Amino acid sequence: MKLLVATHNQGKIREYRALLTGLPADLVFLTEIGIELPVLESGNSFQENAVIKARAYAQASGLLTLADDSGLEVDALGGEPGIHAARYAGPGASDVDRYRLLLHNLEGVPWEKRTARFHCVVAIAVPDGRLYTAEGCCEGIIAFAPRGEHGFGYDPVFYMPDYGCTMAELDPMVKNRVSHRARAVQAAWPLLEMLLKPQNRCLP
C-alpha cells in the first residue's frame, strides 16, 4: 500500500524517509507522482494547515496521505514566527535569511528569556474522508549565533540544553529520535499502522 508524504521540502523528505522506516507502506512523494497542486495554507494554526494539505493531496492523489505543518515559537517574540516560520523573511528568502532575521529580532534579549519550541502537527487523510492528527514539540533556547551543519531551517540557532548543542549539531540519527517531527510521527505511528492493516486497505 502506498503512503503519500505531501511535501516538496527536501529537508522534510530526507527526515520522513528515515522516520517512516519500518512502516509497512511504499512511501511516495509529490514529485514522484507528478502532483504540482499548489495548496494555500490559510489556516490559523499548525493543525489547520496540516489538515488542509493532507485533505487536498489525498483527494488529488487518491492515496493515504500524510502532511505536516511545523514551525518555531519564540516566547520573547509572542510566539513568532509560528505558522509563518517558512515565510518569516519574505518570499524567496533562504533558511539563513530567516534565522538571521530571527537573531536580529532577538538582539538584546538575555539567554534566560530566549526560550522557544519547535512544534509539529501531522495530519493523515484517507480519500474516503477519514482524518487523524498527532503532534509533537521540542523545547529549546534560541542561541546567539548559528552552529552546526546538519538539519535545515532554524536548526542552527535552536539550542537544546539536554544535549548541550544546537539541533544542527546533533547527529541526524539522534535528531530523528528527539525532534518535534520525530515526536509527531511517533504519536501518529499507531494510527498509520491501523490504517495500513489488510482490513483497512481499500486504497491503492
pLDDT at 50 over 80: yes
Q: Cα–Cα distance between 16 and 99 in angstroms, integer?
A: 23
Asked if the peptide bond before residue 190 counts as cis, ω within 30 degrees of 0, the response is no
Q: Which residue has the higher pLDDT, 201 or 151?
A: 151
From 69, 95, 128, 171, active-site residue: 69
Question: Three-state SS for 68?
Answer: strand
pTM of the predicted protein model: 0.92
CATH number for the domain spanning 123: value is: 3.90.950.10
Determine the residue type at 100. Answer: R
pLDDT score at 199? 56
Written as nine digits, the cell of 34 is 507528478
Per residue in 63-81, pLDDT (tens digit) is: 999 999 999 999 999 999 9
> Structural domain tally of the chain?
1
pLDDT at 197: 84
Average model confidence (pLDDT) for the chain?
94
Least confident of 24-33, 150-159, 170-179, 192-201: 192-201
Give dist(CA 6, CA 22) in Å, integer. 19
Provide the β-strand partners of residue 133: 123
Q: What are the cell numbers at 145?
A: 549565533
Query: Could you confirm whether 75 is annotated as catalytic?
Result: no
CA distance 123 to 39: 15
Res 202 pLDDT > 60: no
**193 lies in which domain range?**
2-200
Section 118-133 average pLDDT: 97
pLDDT at 204: 45
Residue 138 · residue 161 · CB < 8 Å: no
